[in-house]
Structures are given as structure tokens and as C-alpha cells.
Structure 1
Amino acid sequence: MATIDHLGIAVKSIAAARGFYESLGLSVVREEEVPDEQVRTAMIPVGESRVELLEPTSDDSPVGRFLASRGEGLHHVAFHVDDISGTLEELKAKGVRLVNDDLQIGAGGHLYFFVHPESAGGVLVEICQDSIADV
């Protein structure tokens, strides 16, 4: 069964954006750069889920282009699954349009792939699993 893992929020500056969440009594538990995605991330636990702040390290990155065209805001919704390889193959077999056809390694070593908004009601959806050791 899938659960909501996190909400990805594109921001111009993690340093500026985190103040709002801290004013709610929340704390950033991990900041990390993901060179392959040209992004810095900050994870903020909220109950059993998290908010992931996304700051581009390049204007030409996916998050940089998102900010240029849409401004700051909700970038994606991420669902955690127990069998990411099986989920990827099942979605491919059903003809779901994917942003990337292969598993990627992201922040914290978790595995992920993205479903194109065209196949998910206009929302960019990330499917993720904790780490490569879980596959």
C-alpha cells in the first residue's frame, strides 16, 4: 500500500523558506545537495510525512525551470511504496507516461522515479522507496 512520503515545494531559497516552517515549531532534519538533479533539499518531518524544500543549484535544472515558469509552490507529491521495481514495471505495462523510465537515487539514498503530470491528473508524482538496500 502506498503512503504519502512527502510534498516537494520549490523555493528560491531554503534559508528564507525554512523560517516559516520553524515558526510552526517544525525543524529541518537534513539538508543535502543532489548533484544529478541540480537541487538542494531540506527535509522537514510533519507527522508521519515530510515537507521537502527544493532549491535549484542551476537555473536550467528541472526545479529552476519550474520556478521560472510557475514561481514558488507545490512541485510534486511523493508516494512511498514497498516494491518500487514492481510498481515501475506495473505502471509501464499500463502505459502510464513517466518522466524517467529507470530508477534514480535521490536525497538520503532513496530510490525514485517520476510520473508525468499528464498521467496523474495534472500533478507531478514521485514514487519512492527508502533506499537501494530495500530493492
Structure 2
Amino acid sequence: MISRIDHIGIVCRDLDDTVEFYRATHGFELCHVEVIESQGVREAMLKVGATDDGAASYIQLLEPVREDSAVSAWLAENGPGVHHIAFGTDDVEAESERLKARGIRPIFDPPGTGSRGTRVTFLHPRDCHGVLTELVTLP
């Protein structure tokens, strides 16, 4: 089952500039930067705060590194802004199967590897009232 909001994904044109904005404006802590070759993005994770169970919530900033990536196409069509919401779950495979049984289509089936060694899948926005939704299991 879903246990928390893991992060909000935001697409940007200039990752370094956008990281500096969130650090200077809101005081968020930069805790991870990685290129995810399989998705054609460079990401930065900014820690927003901890929850009662010790888990954190994050803002994930995404900058496309290839013209043929899905994020690059999204940026060209929509401009910078909120891209997706990610929910944490203890078992992304089981949660994906549960939702698939309800008619919600996973985009990565089976789930794949995300940043920070996480297991992830995305759920089709047409099945989630127009919201691209990610499921994340921490390593």
C-alpha cells in the first residue's frame, strides 16, 4: 500500500539554476544529483523535511540530457513545471500488480531501477485522472 508522498517531480531547463532557487528561496537541502541514462535526465533531489517515521519528502528536479527523452518532449510541449507525483510503498512490484488488477496501467512493467537505487514504476496518467504517478520503493 501507499505509505507517503516520496517526492514531487519538477521539470526544468537548467538544473543548477533551479537547484539554487530552491536552496536560496526555501532552504531545501541538496542531497543527491545523478544522471539517469535510461530516462535521459539529470536529476537533483532536494530534501524538504522528515516525517514522523524518519522518512523524508523531496522535490525532484529533472533536466533532460537528450532530445529523445520523454522529459525533453514534455518540456518542449509544456515548459518547466510540475511533472509527476511519487508515492512511497514498501513493495513497488506488489503495489503495481494490485493497481493493474484495478485497470491502472503501469508504464514500466515490471518496475525498473530509479535514482538512488530505488525500484520504480509510473502509472499512466489517463488512468490516474490526468496525473503522471510514480511508485517508489527505497533500497
Q: Which TM bucket (shorter chain)?
A: over 0.9
Which one of 118, 123, 129 corresponds to residue 131 of structure 2? Answer: 123
Q: Provide the residue aligned with 1:108 in structure 2.
A: 116
Task: Using the TM superposition, give the Cα deviation of residue 22 of structure 1 relative to its aligned residue in structure 2, in angstroms.
Answer: 1.2
Query: Structure 1: any 5+ residue segments left out of the alignment?
Result: none
Q: Provide the residue aligned with 1:45 in structure 2.
A: 47
Task: Using the TM superposition, give the Cα deviation of residue 87 of structure 1 relative to its aligned residue in structure 2, in angstroms.
Answer: 0.5
Task: Using the TM superposition, give the Cα deviation of residue 27 of structure 1 relative to its aligned residue in structure 2, in angstroms.
Answer: 2.3
What aligned pairs does 1:11-30 form with structure 2 within 5 A after superposition? 11-23=12-24, 24-30=26-32
Task: Using the TM superposition, give the Cα deviation of residue 76 of structure 1 relative to its aligned residue in structure 2, in angstroms.
Answer: 0.5
Aligned length: 131
Aligned-partner SS, 2:30: coil
For the aligned residue pairs, the C-alpha RMSD in angstroms reads: 1.0
Instruction: Provide, for residues 68-105 of structure 1, a one-character-per-residue CA deviation record: whole Å limited to 9, x for no partner.
Output: 00000001000000121111111111111222221110
Aligned-partner SS, 1:2: strand
What aligned pairs does 1:73-92 form with structure 2 within 5 A after superposition? 73-92=81-100
Q: 2:3·2:88 contact (CA, 8 Å) conserved in 1? A: yes
Q: Provide the residue aligned with 2:53 in structure 1.
A: none
Query: Structure 2: any 5+ residue segments left out of the alignment?
Result: 50-55
- Structure 1 runs of 4+ with >3 Å offset: none
Q: Distance in 2 between matches of 1:119 and 1:82?
A: 22
Counterpart residue identity of residue 28, structure 2: L
Aligned-partner SS, 2:45: strand
Q: Distance in 2 between matches of 1:89 and 1:99?
A: 12
Higher fraction of strand: 2
Counterpart residue identity of residue 18, structure 1: V
Task: Using the TM superposition, give the Cα deviation of residue 2 of structure 1 relative to its aligned residue in structure 2, in angstroms.
Answer: 2.2
Counterpart residue identity of residue 106, structure 1: G
Aligned-partner SS, 1:18: helix
Aligned-partner SS, 1:97: coil
